[in-house]
Structure 1
Amino acid sequence: MKPRNNPTNEQRLRREQRGPIDSKDPRVKNDAYWALRHQGFSDAYAKRAFRDLAPGFYTTRIQADTSDDDYLRDVDPDDILVEPLSVPTECVKLSVLVRPDLNEEVVTTAAPRDIEYTIWSDRPSGFGLRVRSSGVRSYIVMFRIKGRSSQGKITLGKPEEIPLETARWLAREVRIIAACGCDPRPLHKNGELLKQYRRELRLGPVPPRYPGVQEMLDREDESY
C-alpha cells in the first residue's frame, strides 16, 4: 500500500512513533531495498536495488589481529596487563544486486529480465532507461506539474533513435516546464523540445528561460 500524501492526524502520529527498521523486520531479509536502508544507505541508492531478487546474507571469518593496533605503539609494555592476541571472529555480509548509474555502456549492455525494470539516472532526477522483458529499451522521464499531486510520464525515445545526452537534455526541459505549471507533453508530441535542442546545437546555449526553476532543480539533483 502506498503512503498517503495527506495523512490524518492519527496516521501522522503513528508514523512519528514508528521506530527505525531493525534486523528482525522480515523486510530486511526479503526485500533488497529495505536491506540496504537497514545498512544506512540513502533512499536514492537503495532504489537501484533489484527488488525481485531477495538479498543474500553470508558469513565470513576474519582474523582480528590486535597485536599491531596503533594505540599500542605508544603504550609502555610494562603497563599492558593482557598480551594482545589474534582473535578469529565471524562477520555477516550483505549481497544485493544494484543497478548501475546510467551511462553509455549501461545503455548498450542493459539486458532484459523476467519483469520490466528501469535504470534511473542521478541527473536529472526522474530520468531513466526502461527495459522491457521483450528487450525493448526506451528513455523515460517522470514529472509532476506544479500544483498537481499526480505524476506524469513521457517516453522520450529509444537509444537507437536519440543519444543519451540528447535524452538527458530533453528530460531536464520536461521537468523545468512541469515545474513552471505547464504540461510538457504537447511540446514533446509536436517536436518543439527536439527543435529547441537542435537550435541550441547550432547557435549555442541560450540564456535560461526560467532561472529560478533551474536553480531549484539543480538543488534537487544535488540532494538526489
Structure 2
Amino acid sequence: MTSVNSDFVFGRHAGIDFLKTQDVGRINKIFLQQGVQADFASQVVYLAKKKGLIIQNVPKNKLDRLVQGGNHQGLVLAVSSFEYADLDQLLNKFEAENHDAFLLMLDSIEDPHNLGSILRSADATGVDAIIIPKRHATGLTSVVAKTSTGAIDYVPVARVNNLVQTTKELKKRGYWIFGTDMEGTDYRKWDAKGKTVLVIGNEGKGISPLLKKQMDQTLTLPMVGHVQSLNASVATGVLLYQMLTSRQG
C-alpha cells in the first residue's frame, strides 16, 4: 500500500463512520466543537475512549479554518493519509479466488465531489476496485471522503502511472474494456458479465483519444432533452446499475 498526504475527515456521518471502522493509527486528532448537541458529543466521546483517543474541544472558527469553510457539522478528524491499493495484488487476489472482477477506471476525474459520489455508487453496486491515474486527476482527499459518506473505506482505489498501459495489461489478463461515447451502443444492451472494466472519461473532455483506442466496445446513454451530457458521477451511476442488472440477471 502507498500513502498520500495527511488530510482531514469532517462532518458527522463521515467522521463517526471513520471512528467506527478505522484503526487507531489512522487518526491523529479529534477536534470537537464546543457546545455541540450533548447526544452527538457523547457518541464521539464513547468512540474516542474505545480507541484510547483524546478529544480536543475547540471553538467553531477553529474548525472553519481547518477545513477552509467546509461543512464540518462540529466534528473534524485529523487523519493519516488515505491509502491506495496495489493493483497487481488486487488482480492476483481476484484470480486466486477465481472471481470475475468488475473494475471501474476513471480517466482524469478532476472534481473530488464527483469521485466521492462515484465511490458511493461503486460501493452500492459491488464494484471490486477503482483505478485512477496519478497525474491530472483528483486523489483521495477529505472532500472525497465526506462525499463518499464512508464508501472510501470499502472500495479499493488503485493509482497507476499510465491508464493506456494498464488497460493493455488488463486485456492480457482476460478483461473486456468498455468505455463511454456519444456514438456507442445503447447501454441497456450492455452485457457486463465476466472480467470487465468500465472506463469513465474526464468531466469535460471525455476519454482521451489514446485510451479510447483500447476500448472493446463503447456505450452511450440515450438522451431526449436539450442538454446532451450528464454529470460524470450521474452517468457512472446509471451505467453501474445496468452492470449490476446484467451480472445478476
Q: Point out the structure with the larger helix share.
A: 2
The structure where strand makes up a greater share of residues is 2
Alignment TM class, shorter chain as reference? under 0.3
Higher alpha-carbon Rg: 1
Higher relative contact order, structure no. (Cα contacts within 8 Å, ≥ 6 residues apart) = 2
TM-score, structure 2 as length reference = 0.24
Structure-1-length-normalised TM-score: 0.26
